[in-house]
Amino acid sequence: MFTGDHITADRGKPVAENFSWTYSYELQLVSARKLLEYDFEYILAGHGGRWLISNARNELKGFLEKHG
């Protein structure tokens, strides 16, 4: 799954930060939660270098549990 601006990657892990260009960090997390409605194995993040996040569903779930 290509996530566009929903998720960035850092060393193969999903991250989302309250960047100055983010309209609403809270809405960004709500939007990222919606990604779990889809069936996927990998995330190719829109930013953060060329990191391919494998085991992506579990990584994204863990990230969202930690950040909101």
Q: Return the closest-CA partner of residue 61 out of 25, 26, 37.
A: 37
Residue 18's CB: how many other CB atoms inside 10 A? Answer: 9
2-11, 47-56, 57-66: which is most confident: 57-66
22 found inside a domain: yes
Query: Are 59 and 33 in contact, with CB atoms under 8 Å apart?
Result: no
Nearest in space to 6 (alpha carbons), one of 61, 57, 43, 50: 43
Q: What is the pLDDT of residue 56?
A: 84
What domain range includes position 28?
8-67
In this structure, is residue 2 part of a structural domain?
no
In a domain, 16, yes or no: yes
pTM of the complete model beyond 0.85: no
Say how many domains are in the chain. Answer: 1
Residues in the chain: 68
In a domain, 1, yes or no: no
Q: 63 in a domain, yes or no? A: yes
In a domain, 52, yes or no: yes
Q: Does 17 map to a domain?
A: yes
Distance CA 53, CA 13 (A): 6
Q: Is residue 38 part of a domain?
A: yes
Question: pLDDT: is 12 or 27 the higher one?
Answer: 27
